[in-house]
Amino acid sequence: MSNIYTQTLARAAEAQGSTQALASLLHVPESTLLRWMAGRAQMPLQAFLKLISVLIHYEKTGGGYASAGQPASGDKLVFWMGKLEARCGRCDGSEFIPAAPAQPVKLTSELVCCACGESVIHGNLITQLAKDAVNQSRALTAARAKRQALLLEMSAKRRALKARST
C-alpha cells in the first residue's frame, strides 16, 4: 500500500543507504521501520517530520533520488494522505504544478497553486498535510470518546430507571 508515508520512507531509506541506517537515524528498531514502510503501522508525526527534514537536507546538499517523480509538463499534482488532500494556504485549492516543470519534483521544489498562483515549497505542503492528518485523527478520537461516554451515561440512566421501577 503506497502512500505519502511509505513513499517518503522509501526515499529516506535510499538516501541513507539502507533501512538499517534509517532505523538507526530515527531511533527505532528496523522491524518497526519495516512495518511503517509496508503500511502495516502508522508512523508517529514527529518521525515523519524528521524524515522530511532529513530529505530536505539531503536534497540541499546535492543528493538525488532515482525514485523522484518528474511529471510531464503541465501535469497537475494532488497530494493525499488518507482522505485528506494538501491544500493551498491562501485559497484552499488542492491542485499544484511545479514552478520549474522540467525539473524533478523534490521536497525542496517550489510548487504553484493552480487556483490562485500562490507558491509553496513541496516539503512544507507535505508537512502541513501530515499535521492536518494527525489533527483530524485526534478530533475523530475525541468525538468517539465523547459518544462512548454519552452512551455509557445513557445506559447507566436506563439501568437506574429499571432498578427503580422494579
User: Average pLDDT by consecutive 10-residue portion of the chain (166 residues)?
Assistant: 82 93 95 94 90 90 57 74 89 95 90 97 93 87 93 93 83
Which H or E run includes 49?
helix 45-60
Predicted pLDDT of residue 64: 59
Which of 41, 67, 93 is the endpoint of a domain? 67
Residue type present at position 142? A
How many domains are there within the chain? 2
Domain match, 130 and 63 both: no
Which of 22, 44, 67 is the endpoint of a domain? 67
Domain match, 3 and 19 both: yes
Give tens-digit pLDDT for 28-62. Answer: 999 999 999 998 998 998 999 999 998 998 988 87
Predicted pLDDT of residue 66: 40
**Farthest-apart Cα atoms in the chain, separation:** 79
Give strand pairing partners of 85.
80
Range of the domain at 44: 1-67
Predicted pLDDT of residue 74: 64
Domain match, 89 and 123 both: yes
Predicted pLDDT of residue 12: 93
Domain match, 57 and 73 both: no
Predicted pLDDT of residue 157: 92
Predicted pLDDT of residue 72: 45
Which of 51, 67, 83 is the endpoint of a domain? 67
Which residues lie below 8 Å from residue 4, measured CB to CB, with a gap of 6+? Answer: 79, 80, 81, 126, 129, 130
| 88, three cell numbers | 493551498
C-alpha torsion sign, points 66, 69, 12, 8: negative
